[in-house]
Chains A and B, each alone.
Chain A
Amino acid sequence: MSRLFNTTGIWIIMIILTIFTYAMGKLGYSGTAPVLLLLLTVLIKSTFIIRDFMGLRGVSLLWRSIMYGWLWIVVISIAVTYLMSTH
């Protein structure tokens, strides 16, 4: 029961974050703070996918490092290039 509850809860949170992302784009928010906020939603949703949906919670640190390393490298690269474009 708890597994169902938590899986469904995570799914709903990800849907809400997606609607938030869409609203940010639709309302035309741009600039450093909104983009960092958008990237934070990417980090949260991706962590849910890796940890809870893929089921990597508790697997060897090596595998988790590869997955989370990929995520952080991609997000930081996007953030850095965006910040460079604003200065």
Chain B
Amino acid sequence: MNNTATIEYDSEKDQGDVRLLPGDLAIWFFIFAELLVFAVFFIIYSIQRLQHIELFNQYQATLNKESGAVNTILLITASYFVVRAVQSIKADEVEQCIKWLYASLAMGAGFLAIKSYEFYSKFSVGIDLNTNDFYFFYISLTFFHFLHVILGMIIIFAVIIFAKKGKYSAKEHTGIETAASYWHMVDLVWITLFPLVYIIR
């Protein structure tokens, strides 16, 4: 057993020195565009925090760190399940692949439920985008990400339907890799968002 911290990559695409991007190339341009938007958001948040440190520290303390941490674990676990789904389809195990994809959807649903409760707990006491600068960024950033989780789940659900129809196999699984790439982007963004908005002070 190779016990180094590496993952063997797709040998069928590894004939030359350079591999192709996994999935459809178009999704990667979409991913790069999305990451650019989130990067701008993060940098503007950091600059605004610099100008209103007391306010940001004061209201950051009102956030539920537990729900943020649990949501991070849910998204990382969803990403792990998606990786397992890709590994399954490469082994031509379609049923197993579908099970992993359903498991990742369950993690995504858990994320949405917790985040919805977080939004509800804020909105129910009159907090909204106009309350102050911190809440403007907290609500807009996390809600924008929330929408991406929903889109990621829709894409995974569509892939499950295609998988059930027998569209994917060890030889042809571009659709699953495309969905996986998008889902990992959603996870990647949250990995920065959680400490930036909930923890760093």
The verdict on B125 contacting chain A, using a C-beta distance below 8 Å, is no
Which residues of A have CB within 8 Å of B84? 4, 7
A22 adjacent to B69 (CB under 8 Å): yes
Tell whether A2 pairs with B22 under 8 Å between CB atoms, given A78-B196, A82-B200: no
* A66 (CB) vs chain B CBs: closest residue: B32
Which residues of B have CB within 8 Å of A8? 80
A7 adjacent to B83 (CB under 8 Å): yes
Which residues of A have CB within 8 Å of B50? 81, 84-85
- The size class of the interface chain B forms with chain A is 35 or more
A1 adjacent to B1 (CB under 8 Å): yes
Tell whether A7 pairs with B87 under 8 Å between CB atoms, given A58-B18, A78-B196: yes
Distance A1 CA – B87 CA, assembled complex (angstroms): 11
- The size class of the interface chain A forms with chain B is 35 or more
- Say how far A66's CB is from chain B's closest CB, in angstroms: 6
Tell whether A78 pairs with B69 under 8 Å between CB atoms, given A21-B195, A38-B199: no
Distance A52 CA – B9 CA, assembled complex (angstroms): 9
- Say how far A77's CB is from chain B's closest CB, in angstroms: 5
A interface footprint on B57-87 (CB within 8 Å = 1, 0 otherwise): 0000000011011001100110110111011
Which of A9, A49, A55 contacts B22 (CB under 8 A)? A55
Which residues of A have CB within 8 Å of B68? 22
A58 adjacent to B14 (CB under 8 Å): yes
Distance A49 CA – B1 CA, assembled complex (angstroms): 23
Distance A19 CA – B187 CA, assembled complex (angstroms): 16
A interface footprint on B1-36 (CB within 8 Å = 1, 0 otherwise): 111111111100010001111100000100010011
The verdict on B140 contacting chain A, using a C-beta distance below 8 Å, is no
**How would you classify the secondary structure of chain B's contact residues: helix, strand, loop or mixed?**
helix
A82 adjacent to B9 (CB under 8 Å): no
B80 adjacent to A7 (CB under 8 Å): yes
Which residues of B have CB within 8 Å of A75? 192
Looking at A5, A41, A52, A53, the one whose CB has the most chain B CB atoms below 10 A away is A53
A41 adjacent to B65 (CB under 8 Å): no
B46 adjacent to A77 (CB under 8 Å): yes
* B79 (CB) vs chain A CBs: closest residue: A53
The verdict on A73 contacting chain B, using a C-beta distance below 8 Å, is yes
B198 adjacent to A6 (CB under 8 Å): no
Tell whether A6 pairs with B46 under 8 Å between CB atoms, given A53-B83, A55-B10: no
B interface footprint on A54-68 (CB within 8 Å = 1, 0 otherwise): 111111100100110
Tell whether A6 pairs with B188 under 8 Å between CB atoms, given A11-B76, A70-B35, A81-B50: no
Q: Which 9 residue pairs spanning A and B have beta carbons closest together?
A: A25-B199, A22-B69, A81-B46, A2-B2, A11-B80, A58-B19, A55-B22, A54-B184, A52-B7
